[in-house]
């Protein structure tokens, strides 16, 4: 399963780097490196919300503080 995080400038200002680092940490901690692929993409045209993340063709709007909840509730339940 692929999780793509927007690394465009607007998402950057909302904490894309922290979201990326948190996801990398959670994937490693849960031994999911061969099941989850993390990637980055430039602006997804969805800048008005939080950090734009896509997984299985669905868009999510994250912030550094809700990334862990996203991982537990959306990622872990879909793999």
Partner 1 sequence: MNLDRIIAVRTSKTVFRDNDKVIKMFDQGYKKADVLNEALNQARVEETNLNIPKILEVTTYEKRWAIVYNYVEGVTLAEEMERHPEQLAEYLNLFVDLQIQMHNTKAPLLNALRDKLDRQIEQSDLSATIRYELRMRLESMPRHSKLCHGDFNPTNIIINKQGECTILDWSHVTIGNASADVARTYLLFWLEGKIDLANQYLNLYCEKTNTSKKYIQQWLSIVAAAQSIKGKEEEREFLLSWVNVVDYE
34 contact choice in ligand FES, partner 1, none (CB below 5 to 8 Å, kind-dependent): partner 1
Report the residue from 4, 30, 32, 44 that binds ligand FES according to the rule CB under 6 A: 44
Identify the CA nearest to 68 among candidates 11, 30, 13. Answer: 30
User: Site for ligand FES (CB under 6 A): which residue of 3, 20, 36, 52?
Assistant: 52
Pairing of strands 2-6, 51-55: antiparallel
55 contacts which partner out of partner 1, ligand FES, none, CB within 5 to 8 A by kind?
Answer: none
* Token pair for 13: 């200002």
User: Is the distance from CB of 63 to CB of 50 less than 8 angstroms?
Assistant: yes
Q: Rule CB under 6 A: is residue 55 a binding residue for ligand FES?
A: no
């Amino acid at each position: 399963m692929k999780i793509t995080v927007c690394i465009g400038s607007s998402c950057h200002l909302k904490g894309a780097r922290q979201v990326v680092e948190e996801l990398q940490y959670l994937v490693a901690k849960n031994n999911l490196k061969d099941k989850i692929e993390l990637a980055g993409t430039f602006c997804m045209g969805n800048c008005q919300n939080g950090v734009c993340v896509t997984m299985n063709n669905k868009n999510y709007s994250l912030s550094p503080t809700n990334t862990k909840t996203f991982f537990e509730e959306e990622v872990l339940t879909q793999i």
